[in-house]
Amino acid sequence: MLNPLELAHRILAEVIVPGDLVVDATMGQGYDTVFLAGLKADVVAFDVQALALAMTEKRLEQAQLTAKLILDGHENVGQYIEQPIKAAIFNLGYLPKSDKQVITQAETTLDALTQLLEMLVKGGRIALMIYYGHAGGLEERDAVLAFVSGLPQREFQVMRYGGINQANHPPFLVMIEKRL
Ligand code: SAH
């Protein structure tokens, strides 16, 4: 079966066509950036850690793909993107293999999400992979859930996908689609 991240990729790929502008809001190790670039989308990717850019750059090179990598917070997305976007993805939490000190934060995550929802074309989709097992994770999870629960049903379809019987803190997926 597909795990939530694989499902996120599948659901995003359904709407992305070559040349679409898409955003990776949390580059991390670069898996999502490489996935989106592989769909021939124009990818703009953000991270606040130079290590994430280095890992992503390496992965892109290996796959012979390109993307625009930005060393800045996703809450500043409006400074870099002016056109409508087709899709975006967030992987919340900390960068695996790093010191776990730098984590995504509820306030900046929701700031970025609000801006990206505004930029999203009708029929466009945003994926949020919610990791909440780390310190600060529950607060961010609850803030994101409260926010997306309040999105008007007329304008947005919001779905939640995740495992049922996993131990510990299984990550889950929130998908948002702007209605036609
Ligand atoms: N938990 C996921 C990985 C998340 S990586 C997993 O286990 O696979 C999250 C990334 O978001 C980190 O690389 C971190 O540096 C980055 N990040 C933190 N705050 C950010 C912000 N404001 N804007 C963009 N990226 C941010």
Q: How confident is the model over 74-90, as pLDDT tens digits? A: 999 999 999 999 999 99
| Lowest model confidence (mean pLDDT) among 1-5, 73-77, 98-102 | 98-102
Residue 137 beta carbon below 6 angstroms from any ligand 1 atom: no
Instruction: Name the residue of 26, 55, 72 to mutate for ligand 1: max ligand atoms within 8 A of Cβ.
Output: 26
Candidates 14, 15, 6; CA nearest to 120 is: 15
Task: State the pTM of this model.
Answer: 0.97
Ligand 1 atom showing the smallest separation from residue 91 Cα: 4
Residue 89 beta carbon below 6 angstroms from any ligand 1 atom: no
The answer to whether the CB of 37 falls within 8 A of the CB of 104 is: no
Residues above pLDDT 90, as percent of the chain: 96
Q: How confident is the model over 106-143, as pLDDT tens digits? A: 999 999 999 999 999 999 999 999 999 999 999 999 99
Candidates 15, 66, 73, 25; CA nearest to 42 is: 66
Residue 53 beta carbon below 6 angstroms from any ligand 1 atom: no
